[in-house]
Copies of this chain bind each other. A is one copy, B any other.
Amino acid sequence: MTVDITPDAALDSGVDRSAGVTAPAGFRAAGVIAGIKPAGTPDLTVVVNDGPADVAAGVFTTNKVKAAPVLWSQQVLTAGVLKAVVLNSGGANACTGPEGFQDTHQTAEKLAEVLGVGAAQIGVCSTGLIGERLPMDKLLPGISAAVEALGDGPEHGLAAATAVMTTDNVPKQAALTHPDGWSIGGFAKGAGMCAPNMATMLSVITTDAVLDQPHLDHALRNAVGKTFNRLDVDGGTSTNDTVLLLSSGASGVTVTPEAFEAALTILAADLVKQLQADAEGVTKHVSITVQGAATEAEALAAAKIVAEDNLCKTAFFASDPNWGRIAMAVGNAPTAFDPSLLDITLNGAQICKAGGKGVDRSEADLSGLEIDVLIDLHAGPASATVLTTDLSHAYVEENSAYSS
């Protein structure tokens, strides 16, 4: 994925996927089996910020139908402070009415009580089926168990990343250490704007960098806009999507907003790559870049319409360089361009040139895992990249065999 960040040679050492939310100093985490999921697999995660700072920011779903934990966390984050986050899998707590909101409130109260902080300093996230109440008789004791299990080792970060999984096949985490002495880490679950079965993308990111809340918030919004919001598995935006960023300031190192945003964007882009690779039914990792658009918003709209088009997605599944379907999809975007200038390049082969046939289709080899689509509109200087997946039999199987 192309991310438009200030290059930072200091980060060349790259991202470490063996570490996650406990990599930055000042954070403890745990993931336990509370019994929310009938399968008896881990389903409750707690991440605690031991400070000294407690600034936090969040980005939430734009869906009008928001789950109770989203309404709660949005509200508490207006103060820009979080001492801890509790996340459950096994139930989205969406479309559950005032009772569902009360369940979220009680969840925050319980963790606050055990930690000796205020409920308004607790973030809550949920993921799972929409429309069902959570089993509070299992969730509340699970919170006590999770707090007892808290630790700051890499195994604790991994346990936290594991207990939020639903149809994810693998836990997804990453960490980055800056040579200046601060670090950033995080986990994510889900598979796109809308994780197919379970309908949620959740991520918690921690840092020990010292940064004030407005800059933290600004960096998070920019990074999410360039990373999480440019993965589009099936066009949906769930009722529960949440990305939370917590800073402990425990490194004592004050960072510039620019350096922090650059590192955060690299970390988030890595988590997004992991989400793409674990999307339901995925057999192809597809990158759609639209360049030569008048504005970035128009480039993004055109890339998204291709990413969401089922005809393009079934062609990707078939390794078929069917550029006519891509031309059709781009032509439906709310994006200005002259069709007689349209170029489409698939894995390096310019198969559509000036709105017509380019090199022979045999030159576009899409048989591998990676498919790079480059669309040039020749209408301006702006570009944008969206990551997506193919539409496979496995996607249909996973999303139809599963019963609500």
Name A's B-contacting residues (CB within 8 A): 62-66, 92, 94-97, 100, 129-132, 194, 196, 199, 234-239, 308-311, 314-315, 317-318, 320-325, 327-333, 337, 339-340, 342, 352, 354-357, 361, 391-393, 395-397, 399-404
Contacts and interface: CB of A to CB of B under 8 A. Distances in A.
B392 A328 contact: no
Given A97-B355, A321-B404, A328 B239 contact: yes
Contacts of A96: 356-357
Greatest chain B CB density within 10 A among A95, A354, A392 is at A95
A199 B311 contact: yes
A332 to B, nearest CB: 5
B400 A328 contact: no
B340 A97 contact: yes
A148 to B, nearest CB: 33
A313 to B, nearest CB: 9
A239 B92 CA distance: 41
A116 to B, nearest CB: 34
A241 to B, nearest CB: 10
Contact of A332 (B129, B237, B392): B237
Greatest chain B CB density within 10 A among A194, A325, A355 is at A325
A357 B132 contact: yes
Q: Taking chain A's interface residues, is the majority helix, strand, or loop, or is none over half, making it mixed?
A: loop
Contact of A396 (B66, B320, B354, B392): B392
Contacts of A63: 328, 331-332
A325 B404 CA distance: 9
A311 B236 contact: yes
A324 B393 CA distance: 23
A185 B33 CA distance: 65
Contacts of A401: 318
Given A352-B131, A357-B132, A392-B396, A64 B339 contact: yes
A302 B95 CA distance: 18
Nearest to A238: B328
A239 B234 CA distance: 23
Given A324-B92, A337-B64, A342-B65, A311 B132 contact: no
13 contacts: A64-B337, A66-B331, A92-B324, A95-B342, A96-B356, A130-B324, A196-B310, A236-B310, A236-B332, A310-B310, A310-B395, A314-B395, A320-B403
Greatest chain B CB density within 10 A among A92, A318, A330 is at A318
A160 B260 CA distance: 66
Given A234-B310, A356-B131, A322 B404 contact: yes
Contacts of A391: 310, 396
Contacts of A357: 95-96, 131-132
A314 B404 CA distance: 12
Contacts of A404: 315, 320-325, 361
Contacts of A66: 331, 339
